[in-house]
Structures are given as C-alpha cells and as structure tokens.
A and B are shown apart, each in its own frame.
Chain A
Amino acid sequence: MADRREYEVFEVFVRKKKTDAHVHVGSLNAPSPDIALTTARENFLRRENAVNLWVVPRGEIHETPCDEGDWFARELDRKYREVSGYSENGRLWKTYRERALYLEEIVQDLHPPSQGNRPRPRRERT
C-alpha cells in the first residue's frame, strides 16, 4: 500500500432533494476525495439534479454479509407492525357508519395540489 500508484475506490451517494436521504448510486476511482466529488458529478449527474453528494472511501464502509440471507431473516409474522395488519378496521367502522382513516388522506387534505402547497422539487435546487 505504501507505493500505491493507483486511484482509490470511492462509493458515491446522491441526495436529490433536501427532503430526501442520500442514495447509493455506484462507485468510482479517484486519487483524492476532491477529485472523487468532481468525478461523481460527471459520472452520475450528467442529467439528474441533486443538492448534495457524498463520496466515501470504500474501506470505510461496513456492511452485512452479502450471501447470508439469514441476517435479515424474520421468524415471526410482523403484520402487527404494518398497515396491512389492520385491514379489519374498515369492516369494524362500518357498524358505526364510518370508515377507517389513513395517513394519505390527512396529507392530501393538508397539501391540496391546487393551492400549490406541494413540495416543488425544481425550486429546491437553490
């Protein structure tokens, strides 16, 4: 390693909008973090917009084992954590002449598209 002539590998993460998390898009070779950032823009953002970029030396990333599906195994039925686990609510509400309330409806009411309250991704660049 002392006499490394080659570039280092950097993993690249892109944040497209301020309200999004960084997303891994691939990797590249670069001699330094500065040049890795420039190369990342050239390699991954020739068309797409973004507000922020991360480059991380590959050696600094810690990952779960790739070919051990067991690590993510779920021995129990996890329906109780999910919306789909409560589908009976709709039926139960019927007795009271009401219907189940969903998050989407609340979001929609608070951000009606006509009032322009929706996030405007193109403006967020600044």
Chain B
Amino acid sequence: MNQDARHAQFMERIERGEKIEATDWMPDEYRKLLLKLIHMHGVSEIMGAFPEKEWVPKAPTLKRKLAIMAKVQDEMGHGQLLLRVAEDLAAPLGKGREELLDDLLAGRVKFHNVFHMESPTWADAGVIGWLVDGAAIINQAALLDTSYAPYARVLKRICAEESFHMQHGENIILTLARGTKGQRQMLQEAVDRWWESLLFFFGPVEVTPAAQRMIDYRIRIKTNEELRQQFLNKYVPRIRSLGLTIPDPHLRYDEKQKKWLYTQPDWEKFGEIVRYNRGPKSEERIGLRRFAHEEQRWVREAMVRAHKMQAV
C-alpha cells in the first residue's frame, strides 16, 4: 500500500472515532505532534512539582506537610506515566527516557509557564493547588477522549488523582479565606501574582496551524480559547465569592457574545519565559533537575549492570 492510501485509511479510522495504539501504523506527523504534546506534558508534571516541593519543609502543620508531600509525589508519578507514553512514541526516532530528560536540561522541550514562577508564600502553594491545578485539570479532562489510546489510559489515572489535588488546593485557600486579615491579604496577593500566568497557561487565542492539525487528528478536541473560557466560567465566580478581587478591571461576562472578555496576558513576556527558560525560577529549578539527573546517572547505570551480571 502506498503512503497516501495508508494515510487515508488512518484518517478514516480517526474519523470513525477509533483509538490508535503505539504499535499501529501512524503518519509521522501524528507521531511528532503527539510526542511534542506528551513530552511537554510529562516534563511539566515534573517541573510542576518544584514550586510546591519548596513548601514541603515549610508547611504550617503536619497534616498540611503530609498532604502537600503526597501531591508532589503524585505529580512526579504523572511525569513517570507520561514519559513512558512519550518513550514508546520516541522509540522509532531513536530516543529513550535519558534523551527526553536531556531535552529538558538543554532547553529543547518547553514546560508550562506557571512552573517558571515564584511561590513566595503559603498562599501561593494554595493558589497553585486551587487554580493552577484547576487550569491543568480542565486541560487534561479535555484530552480524555484523545485519539491516542495509551495517552487516554494514562490521563484517566491522572485525572482520578487530580480530583484529590482540587480538594487539597481548595481546602488550603478556604482556610486562609476564613483566617486573619493578614492571611486574607496574603491570599489576595497570591491571586494577583498568578492571574496573568493562568490566562497565558491555555495558550494563544488563535488556532495555530499545529493546533489545527492536532484537532484534525483528534489528538485534542477543544481549542485553547474554549478551555480558557471554561476556566473563567468555573473559577471567576468562586474567586469573587470569597471576597477576593481579580486583578483585571476589564474582566466581564458578555451576555451577547456569551463569553468572558478579559485583558490579554503579556504574550511576549511569557512566550520568552517558556521558550528560553527565562522565568524568575527557571534556572534554579532546572538546575535541581540537572543535579538529580546527572549526579545519579552512575546509580542508574550501576543498577543496570548489577542486574545484567546477575542474569549471566
């Protein structure tokens, strides 16, 4: 069968709503779009553990410490599951986990803008759990019906754990909201700090050619803007119900257009942060990741060698 016929047959499968497996034939473009998406998703989970990990030693009570530690562990687990899916896609391109992580250290793969930012107070830890996880959950839940079966399976497990992250984040901010004046102030400042990053998180309003191809292949179904609107739908009323303000005087729901109007985030600033790892915390966190990856390489290699010697 020639390539065109194969491609046409593949598209028929996609249009019938069939799910694709790692060992199925797939167009190179499909493989590469998926790999880029899942690679970025995987390393974002790992880098996403860092802003909260910083709060493990400083959590205000033992219960909070255990809970945030569990969450950090979940995010690392998500990274493991996703990289596993990425590896199977990358194998025909001659890449394995080492290379996928090297890409992160060398700046060849991006991770989400929110994880480049500072989390200076306990309220930031709460707002990350509440709103950053909230945004990520909307993204991930929208992908549950993706055409790539191994990704869909892993997302199911991830979303089940995210439901704990939602409650965890809400519990921290609800406690602060009912706390002292100083605690409410701290919460407001954290919301102010995160708002613009959260809008950027969903990506550009316009549907880029690559995003359109992903929609054609049913890798994803919703556009960035649809997801951002969903986020605003769910979270603006809740933020306001706590008596908090959102740092955007132009934010309002337009009844006629049936959508939220908002001030655009600084696309250029955040674009540079993710493209060149130029956020306030990018270098420090990548440095920690590099330390773990490189300083422990000898351990990984020793374990492989030990097993091989045992097998002889």
With contacts A4-B304, A66-B24, A67-B24 known, is A26 near B154, CB below 8 A? Answer: yes
Asked whether, in the complex, the Cβ of B98 is within 8 Å of the Cβ of A6, the reply is yes
Within 8 A of A (CB), among B245-304: 300-301, 303-304
Kindly state whether residue B153 has any CB partner on chain A within 8 Å: yes
Within 8 A of B (CB), among A38-87: 42-44, 46-47, 66-67
Kindly state whether residue A122 has any CB partner on chain B within 8 Å: no
Contacts of A31 in B (CB 8 A): 300, 303-304, 306-307
Contact of B306 among A27, A32, A67 (CB under 8 A): A32
Kindly state whether residue A35 has any CB partner on chain B within 8 Å: yes
Asked whether, in the complex, the Cβ of B74 is within 8 Å of the Cβ of A5, the reply is no
Asked whether, in the complex, the Cβ of A7 is within 8 Å of the Cβ of B300, the reply is yes
Q: CA separation between A4 and B311, bound complex, in Å?
A: 14
Asked whether, in the complex, the Cβ of B73 is within 8 Å of the Cβ of A46, the reply is yes
Asked whether, in the complex, the Cβ of A6 is within 8 Å of the Cβ of B21, the reply is no
- Interface size bracket, B side: 20 to 34
Asked whether, in the complex, the Cβ of A46 is within 8 Å of the Cβ of B74, the reply is yes
Asked whether, in the complex, the Cβ of A67 is within 8 Å of the Cβ of B21, the reply is yes
Contacts of A25 in B (CB 8 A): 157
Asked whether, in the complex, the Cβ of B303 is within 8 Å of the Cβ of A32, the reply is yes
Binary flags per residue of A18-34, CB closer than 8 Å to B gives 1, else 0: 00000001111101100
- Among the stretches B60-68, B77-85, B115-123, B176-184, the one at the interface with A is B77-85
With contacts A46-B70, A46-B74, A67-B24 known, is A6 near B80, CB below 8 A? Answer: no
Asked whether, in the complex, the Cβ of A66 is within 8 Å of the Cβ of B157, the reply is no
Contacts of A43 in B (CB 8 A): 77, 80-81
Asked whether, in the complex, the Cβ of A26 is within 8 Å of the Cβ of B303, the reply is no
With contacts A28-B84, A67-B21 known, is A42 near B304, CB below 8 A? Answer: no
Q: CA separation between A60 and B98, bound complex, in Å?
A: 23
Residue of B nearest to A48 (CB): B160
Residue of A nearest to B308 (CB): A4
Contacts of B303 in A (CB 8 A): 31-32, 35
Asked whether, in the complex, the Cβ of A5 is within 8 Å of the Cβ of B304, the reply is yes
Q: Measuring CB to CB, which residues of chain A are less than 8 angstroms from any residue of chain B?
A: 4-7, 9, 25-29, 31-32, 35, 42-44, 46-47, 66-67
- Beyond A5-B301, A31-B303, A47-B161, 17 additional contacts (C-beta under 8 Å) are A4-B304, A5-B300, A5-B304, A25-B157, A26-B154, A27-B84, A29-B87, A31-B300, A31-B304, A32-B307, A43-B77, A44-B157, A46-B70, A46-B73, A46-B74, A66-B23, A66-B24
21 contacts between A and B (CB under 8 A): A5-B98, A5-B304, A6-B96, A6-B304, A7-B97, A26-B81, A26-B84, A26-B154, A26-B157, A27-B84, A29-B97, A32-B310, A44-B157, A46-B73, A46-B74, A46-B77, A46-B161, A47-B161, A66-B23, A66-B24, A67-B20
